[in-house]
Amino acid sequence: MDIVFLEIGKSFSTEAYILTTKVQGILWSISDIIIIYFVLKIASLIREKNRKKKILFRYIFLLLSALLVPFLVFTSTPKQFFILESVIFGLQFSVLIYSVFTEIKDTMSFFRKIVVDNV
């Protein structure tokens, strides 16, 4: 076990850390975009049923974060990566938190109606 840790310590250099972080960062940023996109699609569906205004700005925020994701490839230091990732996450979390705050009540009431009516 000591040898395994020693090998990790010696071979997992800053360069290896940056490379794996970039790959992982791109993968989880894409998955975040997919999650938020479907959260907004579900919210839109329910807003349509409730005759509420269409969602626009949240899609724009999400698009902005998606446009920034490819730039993760060009970061060369952990500091640069962290700052860019913070901006991307900041946009995505803003959309997610706002959506959770404003949509959860209508969404769950809508779901509750489906569950109760169909049981």
Partner 1 sequence: MRISLFIKIMGIFWLFAEGLVMVYIRKGFIFLRKGESQQKAFVFFCITFFIVLVCLNFGEKINFDRYLGYKNKSLGYFYYSYLWNFFCTLWVAIEAAIVIYVFKIYNLLRIALEKKKPILNITLLFGPGIFFIFLFLFYVVYHSYLGSFVDMDGYTHRNIQNAFNFYIKICGMFWILIEWVVGLIGLKIFFLLKKKV
Residues contributing to the site for partner 1 (CB under 8 A): 1-2, 5-6, 8-13, 17, 20-21, 24, 27-28, 31-32, 34-35, 38-39, 41-42, 45, 49, 79, 82-83, 86, 89, 93, 96-97, 100-101, 104, 107-108, 111-112, 114-119
Nearer to partner 1, 60 or 100 (CB): 100
Contacts of 37 (CB under 8 A, 6+ apart): 62
Nearer Cβ to partner 1 (16/67): 16
H helix count then E strand count, the chain: 4, 0
Give CA–CA dist 29/70, Å, rounded: 10
Task: State the minimum distance, in angstroms, from the CB of residue 60 to partner 1.
Answer: 20
* 3-state secondary structure (DSSP) of residue 105: helix
